[in-house]
A = this chain, B = another copy of it.
Amino acid sequence: MKQATLVRNQAEEVKALQDTIYVIGGKWKLPIINSICNGNKRFREIERSIPGITTRMLSRELKEMEMNKLIKRTVYPDSPVLVEYESTPYCKTFGNIILAMIEWGKEHKKYIQEN
């Protein structure tokens, strides 16, 4: 009985984990979410805040994330045109994951430097 419950939970959890990886997988989604949640709004501003990203990648990911309601894109058609990206509440649900990963990265760096 106990065994059955255990196995079942494990299966459920692997699937949950795989779902999450599917959604935020890849090199750029989390850094972009992080950047926008940190208050970066403009395209070039976000671009500059993420080392190594190319215009193309940022453009593609932003589009996809807008479609998936992770971010909101607003155009102010004054002259010159102004575009702003904002995080949605849904986007903020990744907060814990991002924090945990930043934490790990920092610890890892310490660890590397000590050896």
Contacts and interface: CB of A to CB of B under 8 A. Distances in A.
Contact of A10 (B11, B49, B100): B49
Interface string A80-111: 00000000000001101111111111111100
Contacts of A38: 10
Given A17-B105, A20-B105, 10 more contacts: A14-B51, A16-B101, A16-B106, A16-B108, A17-B102, A20-B101, A21-B31, A25-B27, A97-B101, A100-B100
A16 B102 contact: yes
A50 B18 CA distance: 9
19 contacts: A11-B49, A14-B34, A14-B35, A15-B51, A16-B102, A16-B104, A17-B31, A17-B98, A18-B51, A20-B101, A20-B102, A20-B104, A21-B30, A21-B31, A93-B104, A93-B107, A96-B103, A97-B97, A97-B100
